[in-house]
A = this chain, B = another copy of it.
Amino acid sequence: MPNLLLKDLPRYECLLEAAKEFPDLDPSACEAFLHLLRTGDESARVVEANLARHNITQGRFGVLMILVNRCAGDTSTLGPAELADAAGVSRATMTGLIDTLERDGLVTREPDTVDRRMMLVRLTAKGRSLLEEILPDHFKNMTLLMSPLSEFERQTLVQLLTKIQQQAIKFTGPVSAATAV
């Protein structure tokens, strides 16, 4: 989510220097953190640049992917709330995404006749064919981006990231637990 990141990450010596002034600064932690955000950001840009050629954004693409996965056969009902939840985004955001997708004819929105609060979002044929057009390139990009890493290195990376991820949950987790009370 950063998108604003120092263009040139500080050199390690600078971090060591800064650590003298700030006792809370752990140079290796800081370095790892900055590299993580930076690399994540750059990687996102790579795939986004490609999605943009098909006139779609990461966010909208994500919605299409959820739809095509969840509504595998045909008429699996999916409302904005479920979509937002699956995408890890607020409902308001999902409303906006669906608006755009609907405008572009990639999904339809129809009211649920049973529960009249609900809307049913459905992938159109156009949406499905757009995905089929995008996916090969998309996968190729991911493959190419990760090509410098061996299988073993990829495993290692995922393991390390998972540890960080679990730690991150400890920050956000207690908050949502508190709201649940």
Contact = CB atoms under 8 A, between A and B. Distances in A.
Interface residues of A, number: 80
Contacts of A35: 157-158, 161-162, 165
Contacts of A16: none
Contacts of A6: 62, 65-66, 86-88
Contact of A29 (B38, B154, B167): B154
Given A35-B161, A154-B29, A166 B142 contact: no
Contacts of A3: 1, 59, 89
Contact of A164 (B32, B149, B169): B149
A125 interface: no
Interface in A22-61: 22, 24-26, 28-33, 35-49, 58-59
Given A2-B58, A58-B4, A163 B148 contact: yes
Nearest to A145: B167
A120 to B, nearest CB: 20
B40 A142 contact: no
